[in-house]
A and B are shown apart, each in its own frame.
Chain A
Amino acid sequence: MNINTTKVISLLFFIFSAFYLYTAYQIQVFAFDENAPFNARTFPIYLGYAGLFFSGLKLILPDPNTIKVQHKTLEYKKTVILIVIAIIYGATILKVGYFLTTSLFLFSSYYFLGERRWVLMFLLSFPFVAAFMYLLHGVLDIYLRDPFLQSIGVMG
């Protein structure tokens, strides 16, 4: 069976809007605000109904411009790897620090995208991040917490 993915996305959006609307009705407002013409839940409720309306229309109306994506030609593997690297980066940045995690993030990203020019890979990760970090931390005075550099005495 050939399923129109746009319709599937519209159905998901319809379900999401229904959930949003349900959550909007659950927003706790102050007792004196309960019957006010406008309170914290009014706008989200309208949005929930708008979401149901537009996604519902998309679901029931014919789709003249069906989009067909050639999944076989898409590079899912590298995309997923890069997303995983970004998640690992997010998980380690606070514990390890900006310099080492960002440099390793860049270096590994270059590697998994197929780059093998090691010197260039190194230059565009460790020294590049050091220079950028100097710009942020040293010139623009944006504090970057870095336990790794602190442990080796580079940062105060």
Chain B
Amino acid sequence: MIEGILIGLTTALTLQNILMVMLGCFFGTIIGMLPGLGPMTAIALMIPITYGFDPATGLILMAGVYYGAVFGGSTSSILLNAPGVPGTVATSFDGYPMAQQGKAGKALAIAAWSSFAGGTLSAIYLLFMAPSLSKVSLSFRSPDYFALMILGLTAIAAFSSKGQFLKAMMMVVLGLMLASVGQDSLSDITRFTFNNMNLTDGISFVLVVMATFAMSEALTIILKRNDPTSAAKQVSLTELGSIKINKEERTKMYKTIPRSSVIGFLIGVLPGAGATIASFLAYGMERNIVNDEEKEKFGKGSVNGLSAPETANNAACSGSFVPMLTLGIPGSGTTAVMLGALLGFGVQPGPRLYMTNPEIFWSIIMSMYIGMVILLILNLPLIPYIARILAVPKNYLIPLILFFSITGIYVMSFNNFDIYLMIGIAIVATFMRLYDFPMPPLILAFVLGGLMEENLRRSLLLSNGSWEFLWDRTLTACILLTTILIVVWHIYKTMFKKSNA
């Protein structure tokens, strides 16, 4: 391993590769900040450029873009409540309320430090645990994945505050329903398209997230403009606040970061799970671990609530490299794009990558450390400038949010049907938000819908239509048992509190 680390350091510390990490982080942060343009778009745009470099340099550049875009996504989640990528949706739960309280600078600093710590810790885990973790990941079968997704969706519904469990479950079902629109992945049979060709490929994730977050947020701000109790209060530059993190907040982060980085990394390793589930699970776990007083702050600007998903989503980014590098199976959509690029270089990822191209494997791991340091150096001093976006008055900010949302959709399809669809979904979402129907469960369900169906299909086909697969394997049964415990615990707690009241 020492030899590998030295090979990695030699490759990663060349002037060209350090420059690539810097450029990647900077470019990724800018792209990630723009609602609608996430890491996948940023990396896809990088692919033609990387073909001019050797594989290690190309991958180092893309890895830098990946981390930068994830951090940039957190910035727009905190400042605009407009997560560009699903992995940063959970960041907005507490990041945005914190910004509304005039602590935007602090929220960004907590996000930066948590991202740094999460990324660095997970790079260490990756270094030591990559071989054994790939074996754990290999042991997961379709029933386990199906159960894991049920757990993720139930957990997010349970995270919703008191009295919202059923509303959240309705949003989960709605998200899964939206995901079912378009061609069936196996048979290519079209479903719920009503003979409209524009729906054949399904509804894009970016469209749904832009409609339910950015656009409906903008509409809610206008709608509640005259409401004195409005929750849609927009942050302003005068309320930016300091970027300094005090001792009490640091103490909270010291506890949150290690556990969130572990959960983020482990979830990131599982193919298909990635930063989204990791951030939601870390958020939920943190909420369940902290004391009742701190729990009350969740959703209102909690330090733990912001630090946990930020740590986890960056840890999951590193984790998602494990199956890609060691098994040739991408751990997320973004690493799938990177896998395509790797194949384009003529490099075959898999267990033999250690032997055939050790410089690629180890230099990516080493560049993760360098990338995290650069991201921190780049982002912390830039926070006051990044936060200048808050200075934009509402009269300008709202049309600009709508502009970025609509442009984000338009440049993906060059189709005005998607614009109409986005407006339609945004109107429904705005109306439902007024009545406290939570949007994050819908988004998570929409992202997981295809995977969930795929794993249910495989499980049912393998068990010949029997539902016994749910308890046949110990791992599946344990995950489902955890799900049941969450639901029962949640219902019990609600009833217990009600009877106390």
Interface residues of A (CB under 8 A from B): 5-6, 9-10, 13, 17, 20, 23-24, 27-30, 33, 36-44, 47, 50-51, 54-55, 57-58, 61, 63-65, 67, 69-70, 73-76, 78-79, 82-83, 86-87, 89-91, 93-94, 98, 102, 105-106, 109-110, 113-115, 120, 124, 132, 136, 140, 142, 144-145
CA distance A120 to B420 in the complex (A): 29
- The interface size of chain B toward A, counting residues with CB under 8 Å, comes to 63
Q: Is the CB of B219 within 8 A of A83?
A: yes
Interchain residue pairs with CB less than 8 A apart (21): A6-B435, A9-B437, A38-B457, A38-B460, A39-B187, A42-B456, A43-B456, A50-B176, A58-B167, A65-B164, A69-B435, A75-B226, A78-B222, A91-B416, A98-B410, A102-B407, A106-B403, A109-B402, A110-B399, A113-B395, A113-B398
Q: Is the CB of A43 within 8 A of B224?
A: no
Q: Is the CB of A74 within 8 A of B224?
A: yes
Interface residues of B (CB under 8 A from A): 45, 162-164, 166-167, 169-170, 173-174, 176-177, 180, 184, 186-187, 189, 191-192, 219, 222-228, 393-396, 398-400, 402-403, 406-407, 410-411, 414, 416, 419-420, 423, 427, 430-432, 434-437, 452-453, 456-457, 460-461, 463-465, 498
Find chain B residues with CB under 8 A from A113 CB.
222, 394-395, 398-399
Find chain B residues with CB under 8 A from A69 CB.
434-435
Closest to B162 in A: A65
Find chain A residues with CB under 8 A from B423 CB.
83, 86-87, 90
**Other than the known A9-B435, A43-B452, A115-B396, what 7 A-B pairs have Cβ atoms closer than 8 Å?**
A40-B186, A63-B163, A64-B163, A64-B498, A75-B225, A79-B219, A93-B419
Q: Is the interface of A mostly helix, strand, loop or mixed?
A: helix
Closest to B161 in A: A65
CA distance A51 to B224 in the complex (A): 30
CA distance A151 to B430 in the complex (A): 39
CA distance A30 to B414 in the complex (A): 33
Q: How far is the CB of B28 from chain A (nearest CB, A)?
A: 14
Find chain A residues with CB under 8 A from B222 CB.
75, 78-79, 82, 113
Q: Is the CB of B180 within 8 A of A43?
A: yes
Number of A-B pairs, beta carbon distance below 8 Å:
169
Q: Is the CB of A83 within 8 A of B411?
A: no
Q: How far is the CB of A86 from chain B (nearest CB, A)?
A: 5
Q: Is the CB of B169 within 8 A of A54?
A: yes
Closest to A65 in B: B163
CA distance A98 to B407 in the complex (A): 9
CA distance A50 to B449 in the complex (A): 14
Q: Is the CB of A89 within 8 A of B419?
A: yes
Q: Is the CB of B166 within 8 A of A58?
A: yes
Closest to A41 in B: B191
Find chain B residues with CB under 8 A from A6 CB.
167, 435-436
CA distance A13 to B173 in the complex (A): 10
Q: Is the CB of A110 within 8 A of B45?
A: no
Q: How far is the CB of A6 from chain B (nearest CB, A)?
A: 5
CA distance A144 to B411 in the complex (A): 7
A-B complex: 5 closest residue pairs judged by Cβ atoms? A37-B465, A109-B399, A90-B419, A65-B163, A40-B184
Find chain A residues with CB under 8 A from B460 CB.
37-38, 42
Closest to A30 in B: B187
